[in-house]
C-alpha cells in the first residue's frame, strides 16, 4: 500500500504578502503633525505669558503713578494752606516745585509752568525726572507747578445752596504730574489740575 501525505510541506508555507511601508509613512506624517502642534502650543503659551507679564507691569506702573499723584495732592494742599494762612510764598527752591513767572506768591522759581491761556502742556516725556520729587526712594516721582492765585472765586455756601447767594474765595491752582515706573521700564504719566479753595 502506497501512502502519500495529504498535504506536502510546501503547501503549508505561504509566501509573505508584499510590504510597501505605508504604515511607516503614516506614522511619520502623524509624528510630524503632532510635533508642529506641540511647537505652536508652546509658542502661544510663551506669548501669552509675556503679554500677561506686560499687562501686570503696566498696571503696577499705573498704581505707582496714582500713589505719587495722591502724595502730590497732599503737598499741594500744604503749599496752598501755607500761602493762605501763613502768608508765605510758593518757594521753588524745593526740587520738583515750579511756578509761572507771572504767578503771584512765588519766589526762587524758574518758570517751568506755562500760562493756561497758552495751552502749552508740560511734556513728561522730555522732562528730566531727576528734577522731580521722589516718593519712597523709588523711581516713582511727581512735579508740582504753581499756576497762580485767583481771587474772587464764586463758591456757593452750604446755607445758600440752590439760591443766588455766593461767597467769594481765593483759589490756589496747581498742575500736578506724576510718573510711575515698573520693572520692565514701562512708565505711566498722570496729570491733573488741582485747585485748593
Please check whether residue 10 lies inside any domain of the structure: no
- Which residues form the domain of 93? 58-196
Please check whether residue 101 lies inside any domain of the structure: yes
Please check whether residue 5 lies inside any domain of the structure: no
Q: Quick one: what percent of the chain has pLDDT higher than 70?
A: 74
Mean pLDDT calculated for residue range 44-61: 82
Please check whether residue 103 lies inside any domain of the structure: yes
Please check whether residue 34 lies inside any domain of the structure: no
Q: How confident is the model at residue 45 (pLDDT cuts 50, 70, 90)?
A: confident
Structure confidence by residue, pLDDT tens digits, 82-95: 888 877 788 888 88
Q: Quick one: what percent of the chain has pLDDT higher than 90?
A: 13
pLDDT attached to residue 114: 56
Mean pLDDT calculated for residue range 16-33: 80
Please check whether residue 120 lies inside any domain of the structure: yes
Structure confidence by residue, pLDDT tens digits, 103-145: 766 777 766 665 544 545 677 888 888 888 898 877 789 999 8
pLDDT attached to residue 162: 54
Please check whether residue 44 lies inside any domain of the structure: no
What's the distance, Cα to Cα, between the start and end of the chain in Å? Answer: 136
Structure confidence by residue, pLDDT tens digits, 153-179: 665 555 555 555 566 778 888 989 999
**189: β partners:** 179
One DSSP character per residue, 173-187 reads EEEEEEEEE-TTS-E
Q: How confident is the model at residue 42 (pLDDT cuts 50, 70, 90)?
A: confident
Please check whether residue 148 lies inside any domain of the structure: yes
Residue 68 burial (10 A CB sphere; 0-12, 13-18, 19+): buried
Block residue for cell numbers 504730574: 177
Q: What does each C-alpha distance from 46 to 41, 43, 57, 155, 184 come to in angstroms?
A: 9, 5, 17, 57, 17
Structural domain count, the chain: 1
Amino acid at each position: 500500500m502506497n501512502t502519500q501525505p495529504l498535504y506536502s510541506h510546501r503547501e503549508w508555507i505561504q509566501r509573505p504578502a508584499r510590504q510597501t511601508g505605508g504604515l511607516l509613512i503614516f506614522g511619520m506624517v502623524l509624528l510630524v503633525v503632532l510635533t508642529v502642534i506641540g511647537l505652536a502650543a508652546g509658542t502661544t503659551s510663551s506669548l501669552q505669558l509675556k503679554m500677561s507679564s506686560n499687562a501686570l507691569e503696566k498696571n503696577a506702573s499705573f498704581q505707582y503713578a496714582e500713589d505719587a499723584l495722591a502724595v502730590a495732592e497732599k503737598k499741594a494742599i500744604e503749599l496752598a494752606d501755607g500761602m493762605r494762612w501763613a502768608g508765605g510764598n510758593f518757594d521753588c527752591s524745593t526740587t520738583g516745585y515750579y511756578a509761572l513767572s507771572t504767578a503771584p506768591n512765588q519766589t526762587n522759581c524758574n518758570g517751568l509752568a506755562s500760562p493756561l491761556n497758552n495751552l502749552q502742556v508740560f511734556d513728561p516725556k522730555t522732562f528730566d525726572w531727576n528734577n522731580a520729587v521722589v516718593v519712597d526712594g523709588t523711581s516713582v516721582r511727581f512735579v508740582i507747578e504753581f499756576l497762580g492765585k485767583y481771587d474772587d472765586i464764586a463758591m456757593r455756601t452750604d446755607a445758600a445752596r440752590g439760591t443766588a447767594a455766593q461767597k467769594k474765595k481765593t483759589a490756589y491752582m496747581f498742575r500736578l504730574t506724576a510718573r510711575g515706573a515698573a520693572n520692565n521700564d514701562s512708565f505711566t504719566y498722570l496729570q491733573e489740575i488741582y485747585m485748593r479753595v
